[in-house]
Amino acid sequence: MTRFDSPESAFVSPLSPDWTIADVLEWIAASDDRCHDERLLGILDAVDRALHPSSARAATRVVVHVRALAARVAAEPSVGERVLGEVLAVRDRETPAVAEGEVLVPA
Three-class HEC string of the chain:
CCCCCCCCCCCCCCCCCCCEHHHHHHHHHCCHHHHHCHHHHHHHHHHHHHHCHHHCCCCCCHHHHHHHHHHHHHHCHHHHHCEHHHHHHCCCCCCCCCCCCCCCCCC
Residue 91 pLDDT? 44
Model confidence, pTM: 0.69
Ranges under pLDDT 50 in the chain: 2-10, 90-107
